[in-house]
Amino acid sequence: MALKPQLNERILDLSAAPGGKTTHIAQLMKNTGVIFANDISKERCRAVSANCHRLGVNNVVISHSDGRFFPKTMTGFDRVLLDAPCTGTGVAIKDPSVKASKDQKDVKRCSHLQRELLLAAIDCCDAKSKKGGVIVYSTCSILVEENEAVIDYALKRRYVKLVDTDLEFGRAGFKNYCGLHFHPSMSLTRRFYPHTHNTDGFFVAKLQKLNDNHKDPGLKKRKKARLE
């Protein structure tokens, strides 16, 4: 819903398996254009293929690749969806083992991977796309480290801005949390909770790409140092 794929577009689902998102995008596009469905797991790519065949989807190209390096393979997409690998803390209500099987090391590992994947997703997107230039980031985690902190990291390193998800429900993302201060536009992101929205817990952010260049996060500090 946040991605809003249009007919005849070129779309990338960077972490696609098992294919539910990919096939839904294909349905919204009425089997036009092309969708690249990528996943790092070869076994899970088979599930994407099976679901596409089962549902009569014929506009999908399936690839088996580490999403962090996908920009070296292909760029220029109108829209990119990154449903990132995460700790799964949002699904603890139906899978209580998550509460006992995840620790701080898992959170740090996922957060680092999510940052790399999000930068890659942004780099795959075409800022000059007439209708798109959109990146949607989502997780099934409710942890700030995997959500707002990851988006804030990308805002500082790429020419992107947060835009309204156009989702009619959900709570606004955190602008401040436990001493952390994020960009004011973080309120445009959306959080969902089992006890409030009768869904799994998850997070959605929608980014608009403004420029294909990269930011230098240390540039301001170096300029200030030279002035001093």
Q: How far is CA 56 from CA 28, 86, 130, in A?
A: 13, 30, 29
Q: Is 220 annotated as a binding residue?
A: no
Catalytic residue among 45, 52, 140, 178: 140
Question: What are 135's strand-pairing partners?
Answer: 80, 207
Identify whether the C-beta of residue 185 lies closer than 8 Å to the C-beta of residue 206. Answer: no
Q: Is 18 annotated as a binding residue?
A: yes
Q: Is 16 annotated as a binding residue?
A: yes
Identify whether the C-beta of residue 118 lies closer than 8 Å to the C-beta of residue 184. Answer: no
- Does the active-site annotation cover 140? yes
Q: Is 5 annotated as a binding residue?
A: no
* Residue with tokens 């409710």, as numbered in its chain: 142
Q: Is 170 annotated as a binding residue?
A: no
Q: Is 39 annotated as a binding residue?
A: yes
DSSP assignment of 66-93: -GGGGGGT---BSEEEEE-----GGGTT
* Residue with tokens 């030279």, as numbered in its chain: 226
Q: Is 20 annotated as a binding residue?
A: yes
Identify whether the C-beta of residue 215 lies closer than 8 Å to the C-beta of residue 153. Answer: no
Gap between the Cα atoms of 226 and 196, Å rounded: 51
Identify whether the C-beta of residue 164 lies closer than 8 Å to the C-beta of residue 134. Answer: no
Annotated binding residues, written as ranges, equal: 15-21, 39, 66, 83
Please enumerate, by residue number, every residue annotated as part of a binding site for S-adenosyl-L-methionine: 15-21, 39, 66, 83
- Residues designated as active site: 140
